[in-house]
Chains A and B, each alone.
Chain A
Amino acid sequence: MTALSLKDVSITLGDTHVLDRISMHVDQGEFVSILGPSGAGKSTIFRLLTGASPLQTGKITGATHQNSFAFMPQRDALMPWRRILDNLTLGLEVQGIPRKDARAQVAPLLADFGLADFTTHYPAQLSGGMRQRAALLRTIVQGRSIQLLDEPFGALDALTRTHMQTWFEDRWRTARWTTLLVTHDVREAVALSDRIYVLSRRPARVIAEITVPIPRPRLGRPPSAAAHDIEAHLLETLLHQTGENP
């Protein structure tokens, strides 16, 4: 079942043509990545979906309401003045759910996210990886149908990032959140996705759509030959795309 579909979506911001007839879809329970060079307009797609930017031309069907999406920004955006538990319930509070009920909804998930002992800590007291887990839980707990993750592991150091990706794959395999991930990390896209859309430089077009048929779990073990081939193919596509070379 298609959870979300974009058809011929174009965006011009001022004089810049950012998105050029983007078409893509996400199925229920599917993990889809948008892979592209920095500044290609990947995040613009998210702004469009969350209603931060208006749709100019094209059509979005399936999950069209702002309330269908939970958004996780690049940096964790945890509020430094709120304790972790109060950061986690923020989305539910905004929905008008009383604090007590919101906390009850978060409580059973704390252990899986490794946050059970840190609910009364302030974000500044947590490591980068833990903050990122908190930001992810804050996203998940909103109970929206589609999770939008904007380079969620981009700000972490290489070792923490690998840990987090492995942990995340594990969580995703049990929960199967319908997920749209924006990344410029080829390896991350191959490791986590069912399908990958490759975007060109600005104005962004979809220049490839690749299915990743590798069985899960893919992380926490030596990368398979198939994963290597797909990574190589994606890099090739990104490096030899049409348009100006940097």
Chain B
Amino acid sequence: MSAPDDLLRVSAERLLVAIRDILAEKSIVSPAEIADRIAITEAASPAQGGRIVARAWVDPLFRQRLLGDGTRAVEELGVVMRGAPPLGVVENDGSVHHLVVCTLCSCYPRAVLGYPPFWFKSASYRARAVRDPRGLLAEWGTIVPAGVKLRIVDSTADYRWMVLPRRPEGTDGWDEERLASIVTAGDMIGVTIPKIA
């Protein structure tokens, strides 16, 4: 049996403990730093992204900062971006709709949206997002009108991209919390648009 085969037979828990102990012993990363990173990773979720979108909808100056430098803008809201790739935000409006994909692997703005939905990593989503995007969106019930340009953002390198969707009609006077509650991960990837329940 080769060494890699042996590794596959060891329980993940034992491997994790062994690696964590070695990292601590060599003073590369302390157990406290690892626990800290796990807490940061688990705090990120689409709800956090929804909070960012809602703030951009009600605060035009924040929206401007968000589109200019996503990382710095979301740090204002308490999102921890330390150690995360830079965040880019692309805005949907009446003339362009954005759709984010990573055709090469599964790059996703985890720092703001948490773990990617399972389909985001699927070969069929990654292929169809660039080859047949309007057909793909139609299956989500998202019809991009003929006069609206569809811009597919293929996340290939150092940035992570998130979509700032359009604020739906009928939400005048809503507070940020209520606005945030209607924003889903799909809306911030661009496969869907925010809907009032």
Q: Does A associate with B in a complex?
A: no
